[in-house]
Structure 1
Amino acid sequence: MHELGVIIQVVKTIEDFAEKNEITKIDTLVLQIGELSSIIPKYVEACYPAAVDGTLLQDTKLKIELLPGNCRCYNCHKVFNLIQCNKQCPDCGSHDWELLSGREFLIKEIVAC
């Protein structure tokens, strides 16, 4: 479970940002996690309390937005969800596609009090 190390780095990044911008209290942290990324949202939620313990983010709420793993078919240009369609274009049946989204891991929003 590498999620703990990732979240610890996120905490450091946010603390640096808060210090530079004179933010003393954060209410909510919003993360975006792609469904094709190597980060598992339920593990992030599980390790979040330990990662933020004793930090500026200790009392924050965590919100996770799951980003779909979308791709575009090279043959017919249909945009579809890679997982839902089992890696095959639902229109033409092609397995030849380009990944558009789903591998992201982003700090989307920091809501200060």
Structure 2
Amino acid sequence: MHELGIVFEIVKKLDEVVRQSGIDPSEIAEILLELGEASTIVPKYLKECWPAATDGTEFEHVEMEIQVVTATVRCKQCGKVYEYLNQGKVCPGCGSEACSIVTGREFYLKEIHLFYEEEEV
């Protein structure tokens, strides 16, 4: 399971972003990761490892959300773009299995969500 090492790297990146932007870590409510379904990272394991990587750090209160990006490919025969896994890995246009990936390998720290206070009126 390489997800534990990955979450430690996410914590390092989060710390770097916080330091560069001047955000107080206590203001961070959650992070949003964008993860392609064709990546080698298992979202469930990533979420399970998050508490271990943040325990005892200034980010232990931060929640992790994961947005999965559907794997799409372009058929090398007919050029059709389709959802790779939903089509049984076969082009629905021509039946070819030859393709190149368009989306689905992403792995980004997409957003950092902060707590905010509503102003009293």
TM range (shorter): over 0.9
When the two structures are aligned, how many residues end up with a matched partner? 113
Match of 1:29 among 28, 31, 42: 31
Match of 2:74 in 1: 72
Q: Report what 1:100 is aligned to.
A: 102
Q: Provide the aligned C-alpha RMSD in A.
A: 1.1
Question: Identity rate of aligned residues, in percent?
Answer: 38
Deviation at 1:14, TM superposition (A): 0.7
Q: Which residue of 1 aligns with 2:3?
A: 3
1:8-23 alignment, distance < 5 Å: 8-23=8-23
Instruction: Please identify, of 39-48 and 88-97, the stretch whose mean Cα deviation from structure 2 is larger.
Output: 88-97
- Is residue 2:48 matched to residue 1:46? yes
Q: Which structure has the larger Rg?
A: 2
The answer for unaligned runs of 5 or more in structure 1 is: none
Moved over 4 A (4+): none
**Alignment partner of 1:57 out of 56, 59, 63:** 59
Structure 2: runs of 5 or more not aligned: 116-121
